[in-house]
Amino acid sequence: MQISDVSLRRSFTSRGDATIEATVKVGSIEATVTAPAGASTGEYEALHLPSGGYDSVLKSFKKGMLLGIDPLNFKDVSDALKKMDGTSNFSQIGGSTSFAISVASAVAGARASNMQFFETFHLKHQMPFPIGNVLGGGKHAGPGSPDIQEFLSCPVGAKSVFEAVSANIAVHHEVLKQIEKRDPTFAGGKGDEGAWAANIKDEDAIELVRSSIDAVSKQLGIRIIMGLDLAASTFYQNGVYNYSRKGKKLTSEEQLGYVENIIKKYDLKYIEDPFDEEDFEMFSRLTKSVNVMVIGDDIFVTDTKRLRKGISMRAGNGVILKVNQVGTLYDAELFAEEAEGAGFMVIASHRSGDTCDPYLAHIAVGVGAVLMKSGVVGGERISKLMELSKINDDNPQIALWRPII
Ligand code: 2PG
Ligand code: MG
């Protein structure tokens, strides 16, 4: 089986960012994939698009380097893309091009072999629970919204993915009700990922989401845990955490105390990026002092080298995996393998600017993720959630993760 053709087109993400769509052909079978794009990007991520955009991608794109490769050989496809690009961060062809070709090759290869895409991964498969943001702020919403980027809900007591997705949607609806009760003039705005974008301060928002989750959990009789993605690098400026929307500045030491305090006070079980992406030390201290999921996104950027440093310092106990941060499925799979080998949990994640492609669900199951972070509502989020639910229904032999928190 060989890649017989590759073509590129320009496209857009759900936020309207320019992006790349790739079609890979394997004989008469083909697959088309469009790359997502983040807003709260880590310093060390692959570059989404070169500054010259699509035209400059086309100048560096050499399709001949991919023809004849086995589309299911993640490594050969990755090596060819890296050779074509020639830089360490895909700054010539763009991480978007690399992502789209890498994923489309595997999807086309799976189709040509009558396999499901998730089956082409080499790690132990697992059915993750969906985790999604019901209220948002930071770089995903306007200046009146909280400094904290994501207020997350995860129904770990659900018996199926469908039940979990339904519970998260119920929480999303409950959050709207509670926002409207506080602010009858709320115009119903949402941020980039479909989470409510309300004019509310961080702690009031935590309290509101906490009470919404508790109400739905009680009503449905399902355990639902709450989490936050602070995306703290986005407001770490000149050595302090600058919560500018509520006029508060915290030193690193104070930030640690603040995070420990809200974890305890609101029974949070999941904390992502509570510190700046360079502060491995603080990640490590928090992981020692609390018994919750401490997850690194911008700190690791799906990069195995940065992860190794994190593992040696126990800077967290889980990682976000975003294929477009590193550029290829091969590198993302190595990253997941390294994380799992060290006992770190893997959370496969969407991007704030995403597409209606459903493939994240297969990546999540394929790498044995414990959670799939993909929002709650919106076409580009629902496509992934329903694909995960379908994989769950069609493959009862793949067990749902058993939460350890
Ligand atoms: C994150 C992501 C996805 P972005 O920080 O975890 O929610 O946001 O894609 O903007 O980096
Ligand atoms: Mg994040």
The sign of the torsion formed by the CA atoms of 199, 229, 176, 384 equals positive
Residue 304 CB neighbour total at 10 angstroms: 17
pLDDT of residue 374: 97
DSSP state of 6: E
Residue 201: active-site member: no
How far is 118 from 112, CA to CA, in rounded Å? 14
pLDDT of residue 86: 97
Judge if pTM exceeds 0.75.
Answer: yes
Cα 213 from chain centre: 21
Of 287, 329, 239, nearest to 24 by C-alpha is: 329
How far is 102 from 110, CA to CA, in rounded Å? 13
pLDDT of residue 128: 98
pLDDT of residue 246: 76
pLDDT of residue 40: 83
Binding site membership of 229 for ligand 1 (Cβ less than 6 Å): yes
CA distances from 42 to 6, 182, 215 (A): 29, 34, 35
Binding site membership of 40 for ligand 1 (Cβ less than 6 Å): yes
Binding site membership of 352 for ligand 1 (Cβ less than 6 Å): yes
pLDDT of residue 384: 98
Tell me if 389 sits within 8 A of 398, measured CB to CB.
no
pLDDT of residue 247: 84
Domains identified in the chain and CATH numbers: 5-114 (3.30.390.10), 129-394 (3.20.20.120)
SS3 at position 184 = coil
SS3 at position 250 = strand
Report pLDDT digits (tens) over 226-253: 999 999 999 999 999 999 987 899 999 9
H/E element, 257: helix 252-266
DSSP state of 247: T
Instruction: Give the side-chain half-sphere CA count within 13 A for 216.
Output: 30
Task: List 321's β-bridge partners, or say none.
Answer: 348
Residues of the chain with pLDDT under 70: none
| Cβ < 5 A residues, ion ligand 2 | 229, 297
